Structure 1
Amino acid sequence: MELLPRSPGEFGSARYWDRFFRQRGQRPFEWYGAFSELCPVLLKYVRPRDKVLVIGCGNSELSEQMYDTGMCEDIVNIDISDAVIRQMQERSASKRPKMSYLQMDMLHMDFPDAHFQVALDKGTLDAILTDDEEVTLSKVDRMFAEISRVLQVGGRYLCVSLAQAHVLKKAVEYFSQEGWVVRVHEVATSGDKQQFVLPVFVYVMTKFRKIPGSALQILEICSEEQDKPLRLESAERLMEAVKDRQHYALLCSQLSKAPCGEQLSLDLCDKASGRPRYTLHVVDSPAVKPSRDNRFAIFIIPQGRETEWLFGTEEGRRQLVASAGFGRLVTVALHREQHYEGMASIQAELSGKVMELAPPGLPARQQVPFLSVGGDIGGADSMAL
């Protein structure tokens, strides 16, 4: 059964989607982003009394799950495909009387101005914005203009996306130039069942009245749902921050599948300032025969000793991992301008992140040792190697 479009342009065709949903049948189709993963972000921006518009709803279960969990009930779902709208009307009519499904083109919506508090888009922008051709960009401009028209001032456009560079650029530039507040959330994944290597993001565009002559832009990123937003100075910097997180996800995926032939380096930044707080090097030792207890360890370099040969050079780190006797060692350098409470707080701060760099075959719930040598580690005694 062939469900893929013959060309990217078919993603905007009602005929294609009618055929797609007829052939797929009743099975829900989710691009990405499970409800359990999206829920912490959605709860921040969707209130129970909000009137919510879901754009390009397809036969996703997202609206149904929002309704059934009590997040919101006044939900209007639209899609260009008449086939899927009829399918969803049959599925929800008796169970969810306050929720509606309408066949409608999002480029020409029938709703009055300022009718909704929230517009929700899960994968629709990604499907429409397939290239940088003028026809495509014009269609997206029309989509954004219609979303802006039907949202109240203070309303939120929530867009679930894989944040391809051209998609993110278009969304951020359009809405920031319109005077909206732009915030990008990275969605925390459940881990094992992640469908895509790349992380899922939610763009949150909050509508403000545009002030003539004002060049003020408010651009923020949240790396995790509980984080305080980090304010960034430009659209370019916001896009770089998203790209950094995508590269990190790719790196973690590669490290989880195979040993790394070369030493890999990355910075973990302070959540408040965005400045580097830890510099990590991932070093594998093919000479070590792996066993349950020697697959993986973390080595904290005493503060102020990060430039020594053993810690600051590739050859030195190779000797360090061989001496430590682990298949993979992650060395952690502490930055001199940062403050650290001690080994226990460093371990607590790093434990989640360093486990994302674990080697393939590491048993579940394996306790990973934190190692060091004598010296000052943020004012606490170090562990002996």
Structure 2
Amino acid sequence: MESVCTSERPNETSSLPATASAYLDPGYWDERFSKEEHYEWFKDYSHFRHLIQAHVTCHSSVLELGCGNSQMCEELYKDGTTNITCIDLSAIAVENMQKRLLCKGFKDIKVLQADMLELPFDDECFDVVIEKGTMDVLFVDSGDPWNPRPETMSKVMAMLKGVHRVLKSNGTFISITFGQPHFRRPIFDAPEFSWSVEYTTFGDGFHYFFYILKKGQRSLEEKISDKVSETPSISLFHEELESEDFLFRTNVEELNC
């Protein structure tokens, strides 16, 4: 009988799209995932493991948005969190992820094709929801980062409302992103949400933001704090800019020049 597992394709260098707006095209992702074995946006799990483990336990039910071909769910599983559901809009990404996890013996991880703007889950069914670079895709053609286009904000709010809905009453949303606090906090702090908002950074020289949003812990007196002065400067010469990640930073770079 033929083995379920086939030899993994070698890692292929990702082809950069002609424009950042191509990231909004489902066809781009299907084509990419049909060729690409693995790619990690915004660093791999080892770089933020110390941050994520403060909010995830072996008993946590976890939802990962936009899993793509990342290995984050595997790393979480190795750390003892086994109740994991991953979703992606691309049927090809889902099929490839299912095969890869089965091959490696991670049979308990569920992988579903689903749209993060219309989450197909019951209310309050996850302890933790995690996204890494997935929300950033919604902003690639947002225009002025201080005043994003209405159609962009409509999608972003649909995503966040869905996340808020599926989180348990004391659940936590973790967002790993390029989005600086002076752009993201006003969105996270919208009156529709009951979560508190905290953040930290990781990375050497070139910083990524790690937001922790705890549902049900927002104070009525809480005000949006101005942390613009605390935002790390962006180094155009850092080695990270050799990767594809820099495309998500384009609008912020232009604004800060």
TM-score band w.r.t. shorter chain: 0.7 to 0.9
The yes-or-no answer on 1:185 pairing with 2:209 is: no
8 Å CA contact 1:115–1:152 kept in 2: the answer is yes
The yes-or-no answer on 1:83 pairing with 2:92 is: yes
1:20 corresponds to: 32
1:172 corresponds to: 188
Structure 1 residues 198 and 172: alpha-carbon distance in aligned structure 2, compared to 1, 3 A threshold:
farther
- State the distance in 2 between where 1:166 and 1:14 align: 29
Q: TM-score, normalised by structure 2?
A: 0.77
Query: Which residue, 154, 157, 160 being the options, matches 2:173?
Result: 157
Structure 1 residues 7 and 31: alpha-carbon distance in aligned structure 2, compared to 1, 3 A threshold:
same
SS in 2 for 1:159: strand
Aligned residue runs from structure 1 range 21-36, under 5 A: 21-24=33-36, 26=37, 28-36=38-46
Deviation at 1:2, TM superposition (A): 7.7
* Count of residues paired in the alignment: 220
Structure 1 residues 209 and 40: alpha-carbon distance in aligned structure 2, compared to 1, 3 A threshold:
closer
Structure 1 residues 39 and 209: alpha-carbon distance in aligned structure 2, compared to 1, 3 A threshold:
closer
Q: CA RMSD in A?
A: 2.6
Aligned residue runs from structure 1 range 208-247, under 5 A: 208=216, 215-217=220-222, 234-241=223-230, 243=231, 246-247=232-233
Structure 1 residues 201 and 67: alpha-carbon distance in aligned structure 2, compared to 1, 3 A threshold:
same
- State the distance in 2 between where 1:159 and 1:239 align: 19
SS in 1 for 2:54: helix
1:199 corresponds to: 207
Deviation at 1:239, TM superposition (A): 4.1
8 Å CA contact 1:56–1:106 kept in 2: the answer is yes
Deviation at 1:137, TM superposition (A): 0.9
Structure 1 residues 8 and 97: alpha-carbon distance in aligned structure 2, compared to 1, 3 A threshold:
same
Query: Which residue, 37, 42, 51 being the options, matches 2:52?
Result: 42
1:101 corresponds to: 111
Gaps of 5+ in 2: 1-12, 143-147, 239-257
1:74 corresponds to: 83
Give the counterpart letter for 1:80 in structure 2.
L
- State the distance in 2 between where 1:106 and 1:206 align: 19
Deviation at 1:113, TM superposition (A): 0.6
SS in 2 for 1:120: strand
Give the counterpart letter for 1:32 in structure 2.
F
Give the counterpart letter for 2:168 in structure 1.
Q
SS in 1 for 2:53: helix
Deviation at 1:7, TM superposition (A): 4.3
1:306 corresponds to: none
8 Å CA contact 1:85–1:101 kept in 2: the answer is yes
Structure 1 residues 180 and 239: alpha-carbon distance in aligned structure 2, compared to 1, 3 A threshold:
farther
Q: Deviations over 1:172-223 (max 9, x none)?
A: 333x762311110112x3x5xxxxx53011100011177xxx7422xxxxxx
Deviation at 1:126, TM superposition (A): 1.3
Deviation at 1:6, TM superposition (A): 4.3
Structure 1 residues 22 and 167: alpha-carbon distance in aligned structure 2, compared to 1, 3 A threshold:
farther
Task: Kindly indicate whether structure 1 or structure 2 has the higher relative contact order, using CA contacts under 8 Å at least 6 residues apart.
Answer: 2
8 Å CA contact 1:179–1:207 kept in 2: the answer is yes
8 Å CA contact 2:63–2:129 kept in 1: the answer is yes
